[in-house]
């Protein structure tokens, strides 16, 4: 099919789709196709008028029928699907799940929109305003034109807060410093509402439990002239006495195994912290709750202490239901009794998983895994997870040669909901429960007729949050011992001539520490236009040992532990992402990721498992996993050769740009471009062209593609098809290959779970 034929076809489809939009409407019905906002202002800056027009446009309802490339495709599908009496079947699915019913205009709807726009202008301080409505109809399609006429915005001349000689008046006076209601500020009803909520929140931080924003009222005087006004905030006369008083915590009770049949009259036992614990089944050790609940008897009620206590209880992961109830104390004046109702989640669980795979390099196989977890191992909300796995892969290389790969292992993790640091004090945010993580693991990798690789590992560290958006992970100590055995003599001959293969299975002893920082503005769900993500990691090994032993390969001094030289390096890695959203389902996601590893002292090269790789389902998707690069080095086309060893590098730089939008129902669509590569820090005689230089951009590989995502709420299934458009190993002037974009043999299919970034 030629480009001209394709364009003709698109034009024909567009014509019939446009004609089909309104012909199914009944007499008197109008398809609501467009809104227009016009502004007529006096003494208002042009920029402010344009901004107000944008605000008004966002208030109009309902949302009009969606468009794809200027066409109401979903409405067209709804119309051509016809009628169906059944609430199932293909026609029903096509009409109501893929299609979209017409949005009809009615006089009531249009008049309501006009009222909303006029009210909004008044709420923003444009008191001398009017909004008129006009409509235009053509071919049963209606366009509404709203003309807003308004003058200068009123500003605050004077503002006064309530004056009261009691505790409440003094506290209100103390929280006015950060008020947005100040002299010269524009009148805005939303700001007034926010100010009442702000004052209420600050008062609840100071013990005024029974106060609420509705007790504050703002009087406005607009008669002072010159488009100014005076505002007076005051307490309502009917504000009850209890809302004017400071309240303290009296009794604290915890029902650790609460359900609807629980006896709430049970007094329980007093544990440290003055807390009464009701735990007749002895599910938890009493010391868990004083370490989690912030309140103590006699404390002033503070909203932060309330929310942080609930957050900490939830983050323990051992309760499916957490609730706090307050009531007046019977024994103490201005006292509050707080009761925590906790419903434990299932303590133990087991999961069995089976997976299969097939790849374009003639590899097939599968894996089974058995996982078990205990959410309250030592009765202090410790989470213990254990998993054991086994897998088999077989790859046919041709000429009847087959490689079988068997792997298996066990992984153990213990998460303790506190910092275990002995005599040392580790300060973290009281809002979140920190965790100590202990990990042990053992892995076996056996490749038939080649080699066997065993790996033992362990680590001790902390995971803690300073805010909802930030998380720190510190591994104070980690160790990884990799040992190759049963190396076939023929494979050993290959290792002697191929340093890349040799380094992939070399004996390694990695002893070190690491730190990871993560920031994610989407950790708290929001509707911001811009969201950001950052992950930074610093990883080091053997640095203290190298300093103590004086290890230096350059001077011929190599230090061994258990007959194995320990690795010495420092490694940095960063990942920055930006998410630009518009509309309800459209997003432009971008990412820059990179890193560098520097080996020194007791090592000439980075450990294979700590080096960087390029290509794969979450990286540069037009190239096979871990096979792109380094630099312009070429050992074979990774998308066509049956077997290529993984290619590592010391430096990585990659960039991704992806447009995402919703098609229908659970189906999302994406269009993306990926670019990047890896490099070695120094010249590698076995991989000429791999070294990083000032001309590194000439070594960048680029791929483009498209894909579908199926959002099933609990997970996202992803299918991407990508093709290279720039090969870094081709000669200068021939690296770009746009003429081969439609060549199916160059395309790479990626199947994955979750978004790539």
Q: What is the pLDDT of residue 494?
A: 78
Q: What is the pLDDT of residue 498?
A: 74
At a CB cut-off of 8 Å and minimum separation 6, what does 729 contact? 632, 633, 634, 689
DSSP string, 299-359: PBP-HHHHHHHHHHHHHTS-EEEEEEEEEE-SSSTTEEEEEEEEEEPPSEEEEEEEEEEEE
Q: What is the pLDDT of residue 19?
A: 53
At a CB cut-off of 8 Å and minimum separation 6, what does 137 contact? 30, 143
Q: What is the pLDDT of residue 573?
A: 98
Q: What is the pLDDT of residue 359?
A: 58
Q: What is the pLDDT of residue 752?
A: 86
Question: Which secondary-structure segment (H or E) carries 277?
Answer: strand 275-278
Q: How far is CA 74 from the centre of its chain?
A: 30
Please state, in angstroms and rounded to a whole number, the distance separating the CA atoms of residues 657 and 717: 19
Instruction: Give long-range contacts, CB 8 A cutoff, 24+ apart: 358-361.
Output: 360/624, 360/639, 360/748, 360/749, 361/395, 361/624, 361/641, 361/642, 361/643
Phi, psi (rounded to 5 degrees) for 518: -130, 130
Task: List the CATH code of the domain at 3-65+102-150.
Answer: 3.10.20.310
Angle at CA of residue 704, ends 636 and 698, nearest 5°: 60
Please state, in angstroms and rounded to a whole number, the distance separating the CA atoms of residues 516 and 512: 14
Phi, psi (rounded to 5 degrees) for 108: -65, -45
Residue pair 120/59 in contact by the 8 Å Cβ criterion = yes
Residue pair 95/78 in contact by the 8 Å Cβ criterion = yes
Q: What is the pLDDT of residue 556?
A: 87
Q: What is the pLDDT of residue 413?
A: 97
Task: List the CATH code of the domain at 155-244.
Answer: 3.10.20.310
Same fold, 3-65+102-150 and 459-753: no
Please state, in angstroms and rounded to a whole number, the distance separating the CA atoms of residues 539 and 574: 12
Q: Which CATH number is correct for 248-344, 3.10.20.310, 3.40.50.450, 3.90.1150.10, 3.40.640.10?
A: 3.10.20.310
Q: What is the pLDDT of residue 489?
A: 87
Segments making up each domain of the chain, as ranges: 3-65+102-150, 155-244, 248-344, 459-753
Q: What parts of the chain have a pLDDT lower than 50?
A: 1, 3, 6-7, 15
pTM recorded for the entire structure: 0.79
Please state, in angstroms and rounded to a whole number, the distance separating the CA atoms of residues 107 and 102: 16
Residue pair 184/155 in contact by the 8 Å Cβ criterion = yes
Alpha helices by DSSP H, 230-323: 303-315
Closest CA to 723 of 753, 696, 757, 750: 750
Phi, psi (rounded to 5 degrees) for 247: -115, 145
Closest CA to 543 of 514, 503, 502, 585: 514
Is omega for the bond preceding 630 within 30 degrees of 0, making it cis?
A: yes
Architecture of domain 459-753: Beta Barrel (2.40)
């Amino acid at each position: 099919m030629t480009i001209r034929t394709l364009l003709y076809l698109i034009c024909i489809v567009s014509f019939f789709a446009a004609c089909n939009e309104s012909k199914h409407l009944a007499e008197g019905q109008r398809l609501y196709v467009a809104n227009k906002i016009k502004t007529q202002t006096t003494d208002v800056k042009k920029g402010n008028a344009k901004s107000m027009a944008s605000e008004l446009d966002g208030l109009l309802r309902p949302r009009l029928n969606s468009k794809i490339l200027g066409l109401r495709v979903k409405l067209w599908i709804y119309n051509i699907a016809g009628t169906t009496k059944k609430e199932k079947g293909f026609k029903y699915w096509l009409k109501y799940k893929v299609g979209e019913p017409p949005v009809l205009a009615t006089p009531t709807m249009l008049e309501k929109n006009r009222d909303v726009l006029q009210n909004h202008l008044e709420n923003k301080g444009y008191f001398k305003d009017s909004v008129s409505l006009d409509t235009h109809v053509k071919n049963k399609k209606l366009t509404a034109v709203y003309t807003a006429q308004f003058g200068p915005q009123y500003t605050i001349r004077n503002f006064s807060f309530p004056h009261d000689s009691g505790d409440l008046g003094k506290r209100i006076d103390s929280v006015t410093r950060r008020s947005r209601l100040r002299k010269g500020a524009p009148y805005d009803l939303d700001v007034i509402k926010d100010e009442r909520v702000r004052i209420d929140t600050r008062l609840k931080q100071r013990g005024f439990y029974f106060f609420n924003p509705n007790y504050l009222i703002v009087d406005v005087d607009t008669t002072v002239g010159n488009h100014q006004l005076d505002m007076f905030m005051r307490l309502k006369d009917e504000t009850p006495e209890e809302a004017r008083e400071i309240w303290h915590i009296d009794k604290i009770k915890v029902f650790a195994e609460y359900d609807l049949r629980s006896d709430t009259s049970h007094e329980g036992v007093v544990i440290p912290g003055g807390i009464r614990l009701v735990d007749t089944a002895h599910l938890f050790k009493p010391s868990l709750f004083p370490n989690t609940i912030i309140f103590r008897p006699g404390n002033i009620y503070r909203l932060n202490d309330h929310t942080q206590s609930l957050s900490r209880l939830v983050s323990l992961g051992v309760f499916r239901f957490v609730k706090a109830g307050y009531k007046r104390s019977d024994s103490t004046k201005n006292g509050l009794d707080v009761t925590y109702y906790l419903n434990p989640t299932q303590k133990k669980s087991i999961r069995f998983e089976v997976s299969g795979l097939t790849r374009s390099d003639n590899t097939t196989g599968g894996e089974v895994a058995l996982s078990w977890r205990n959410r309250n191992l030592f009765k202090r909300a410790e989470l213990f997870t254990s998993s054991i796995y086994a897998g088999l892969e077989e790859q046919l290389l041709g000429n009847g040669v087959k490689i079988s790969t068997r792997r298996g292992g066990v992984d153990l993790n213990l998460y303790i909901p506190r910092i275990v640091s002995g005599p040392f004090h580790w300060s973290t945010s009281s809002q979140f429960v920190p965790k100590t993580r202990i990990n042990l693991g053992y892995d076996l990798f056996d490749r038939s007729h080649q080699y066997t690789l065993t790996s033992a590992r362990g680590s001790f560290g902390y995971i803690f949050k300073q805010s909802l958006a930030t998380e720190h992970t510190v591994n104070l100590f980690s160790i990884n011992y990799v040992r190759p055995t049963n190396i076939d003599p023929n494979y050993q001959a290959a290792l002697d001539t191929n340093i890349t293969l040799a380094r992939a299975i070399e004996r390694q002893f990695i002893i070190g520490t690491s730190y990871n920082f993560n920031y994610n503005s989407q950790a708290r769900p929001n509707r911001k236009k811009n969201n950001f993500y950052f992950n930074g990691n610093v990883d080091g090994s053997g640095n203290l040992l190298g300093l103590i032993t004086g290890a230096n390969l350059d001077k011929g001094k190599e230090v061994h532990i258990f007959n194995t030289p320990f690795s010495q390096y420092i490694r940095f890695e960063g990942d920055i992402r930006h998410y630009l959203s518009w509309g309800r389902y459209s997003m432009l996601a971008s990412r820059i990721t990179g890193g560098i590893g520097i080996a020194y002292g007791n090592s000439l090269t980075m450990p294979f498992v700590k080096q960087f790789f390029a290509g794969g389902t979450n990286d540069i998707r037009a190239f096979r996993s871990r096979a792109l690069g380094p630099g312009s080095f070429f050992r074979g086309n990774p998308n066509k050769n049956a077997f290529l060893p993984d290619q590592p590098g010391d430096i990585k730089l990659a960039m991704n740009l992806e447009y995402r939008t919703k098609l229908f129902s659970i189906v999302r669509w994406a269009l993306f471009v990926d670019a990047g590569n890896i490099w070695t820090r120094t010249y590698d005689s076995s991989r000429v062209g791999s070294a990083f230089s000032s001309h590194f951009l000439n070594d960048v590989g680029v791929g483009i593609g498209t894909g579908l995502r199926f959002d099933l709420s609990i997970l996202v299934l992803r299918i991407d098809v990508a093709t290279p458009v720039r090969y870094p190993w081709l000669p200068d002037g021939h690296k770009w290959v746009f003429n081969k974009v439609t060549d199916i043999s160059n395309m790479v299919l990626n199947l994955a779970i979750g978004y790539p970034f």
